[in-house]
A = this chain, B = another copy of it.
């Protein structure tokens, strides 16, 4: 059954909330193939003590395993926050077709914020990109997370 972009993003938001439960920056991701979610991931950077464990990379690893291929042809990726350089690098090299994100990331977002992805030269694939899907909810999740962090720090002083 074909679902809306908002539906898939709402599942990515559910993933982001799993990150929140373990005190990770709440970012979530799903990968869709033939209208089916084939992989989900959430940010695990601090838990795994590894810079690469972003939600997108977690999902890409799972999708590759599922399809038994590093080429993720005809797959769409939904992520709550604009992907960073590392994740966009993994996304275009996986041949992911469409990337949908929720809120922009002004410090590091590699679609339109820190860099305009389509202006990078000589790549072998440029996914279609689109932002602003359930933007407010995706953005609030992150903002509230950092607000709580700051408040807790103040309380400790």
Contact = CB atoms under 8 A, between A and B. Distances in A.
Contacts of A94: 51
B49 A68 contact: yes
A65 B115 CA distance: 31
Interface residues of A, number: 36
B110 A89 contact: yes
Contacts of A108: 122-124
A64 B121 CA distance: 31
A9 interface: no
Contact of A122 (B65, B86, B113, B121): B113
Given A52-B61, A85-B92, A115-B115, 13 more contacts: A46-B70, A50-B64, A51-B64, A84-B89, A85-B88, A86-B86, A86-B89, A87-B89, A89-B110, A108-B122, A110-B120, A114-B121, A114-B122
